Structure 1
Amino acid sequence: MVTLISLLTFMAFYLLYGTSKKMASIGELGIGKWTGEHKKIAQAASLALMIFSLGLSCFLWGLGSGTFTFFILLMTVASLVILLAPLRLLNYPFLGVLFIGSILFETILF
């Protein structure tokens, strides 16, 4: 469940990052061009994903802890996206290994 919340938060922030005017269109994940052409739809989808992720977080940890955890996760994901996207390190193999490792650690530890 934590991995799902992290993935939804990453997707939501990456969509918002793609609609930014200051972002150089990298298109590493294949949605850079689409977000540039459909900014309103991408922003609405991003907002919906963030609200859904916040709702899942509040459902899992409670209202106060879930909100706090969501914002910490959002700050972490945002920092990673802003640092790694210009370096072209956010690609499918890297994200696949990251999230498969996260799922494995989540199932083994919890």
Structure 2
Amino acid sequence: MVTFISLLTFLAFYLSYGTSKKMAAVGNLGLEKWSGEHKKPSQLASLALMIFSLGLSCFFWGVGSGTFTFFILLMTVASLVILLAPLRLLNYRFLGILFICSILFETILF
């Protein structure tokens, strides 16, 4: 569940990051081109994913802890996207390995 919330938060922030004018569209994930061409639907989809992720976080951990955890997760994901996207390190292979390891650690440790 934590991995799913993290994935939704990542997708939400990456969609909103793709609508930025300062972002150089690299095209590694394919979302960059679509979000650059369709700014309004991309922003609405990003907002919907963030609200859904916040709701899942509040459902999973409670209102106070869930909100706090969501914002910490959002800050972490945002920092990683802003640092790694210009270096072209965000691709399907890297994200797949990251989330598979996250799912394995989540099932083994929890």
The offset of 1:77, in angstroms, is 0.1
What code does the residue aligned with 1:31 have? L
Residue of structure 1 equivalent to 2:89: 89
Cα separation, 1, equivalents of 2:86 and 2:22: 12
Instruction: Report the TM-score when normalising by structure 2.
Output: 0.99
Stretches of structure 2 that go unaligned for 5 or more consecutive residues are none
* Residues 1:24 and 2:24 aligned together: yes
Two-structure CA RMSD over aligned residues (Å): 0.4
Equivalent residues in 2 for 1:1-110 (5 A)? Answer: 1-110=1-110
After TM superposition, the score normalised by the length of structure 1 is: 0.99
CA deviation profile, 1:7-31 (whole Å, cap 9, x unmatched): 0000000000000011111111011
Aligned residues: 110
- Cα distance in 2 between the residues matched to 1:31 and 1:55: 24
Any stretches of 5+ residues in structure 1 without a counterpart? none
- Segments ≥4 residues shifted beyond 2 Å: none
Give, in whole Å, the separation in 2 of the partners of 1:3 and 1:31.
20
